[in-house]
């Protein structure tokens, strides 16, 4: 699988998950045809897959996970010329916080 780091050079690279590739492979017309619920579900799935890869490949901590997942979702969303792009950018931080909390539940950081 391809590796990605769509953010600053100091962020670690992780494997690009199939859930994110599936969104990227959709045409602009297919992305625009998604309901709000479907788009939200796909963004959440991508966030969880990214958090899983972060935890498995980097280990790290909650803050690092949130930073990496947020940056990748924001950058990917900004590259789309469809309705899902701005939705992905807007949902990037809350989705990352929720997904990373699964792997780092002991963190007392609260963000949104």
pLDDT tens string 13-48: 899 999 999 999 999 999 999 999 999 999 999 999
* Domain coverage including residue 54: 35-106
Residue 83 included in any domain: yes
Residue 20 included in any domain: no
pLDDT for position 108: 58
- pTM listed for this prediction: 0.87
User: What is the number of domains present in the chain?
Assistant: 1
pLDDT for position 11: 79
**SS3 sequence of 2-42:** CEECCCCCCCCCEECCHHHHHHHHCCHHHHHHCCHHHHHHH
Residue 50 included in any domain: yes
Residue 18 included in any domain: no
Residue 27 included in any domain: no
Residue 12 included in any domain: no
Residue of 58 and 8 predicted with greater confidence: 58
Residue 111 included in any domain: no
φ, ψ of residue 82 to 5 degrees: the values are: -135, 180
């Amino acid at each position: 699988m391809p590796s990605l780091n769509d953010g600053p050079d100091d962020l670690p690279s992780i494997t690009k998950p199939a859930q994110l590739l599936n969104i990227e492979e959709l045409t602009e017309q297919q992305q625009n045809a998604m309901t709000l619920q479907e788009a939200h579900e796909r963004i959440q799935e991508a966030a969880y897959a990214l958090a899983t890869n972060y935890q498995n490949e980097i280990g790290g901590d909650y803050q690092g996970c949130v930073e990496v997942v947020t940056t990748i979702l924001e950058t990917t969303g900004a590259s789309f010329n469809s309705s899902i792009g701005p939705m992905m950018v807007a949902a990037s931080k809350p989705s990352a916080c929720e997904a990373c909390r699964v792997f780092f539940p002991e963190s007392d950081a609260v963000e949104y």
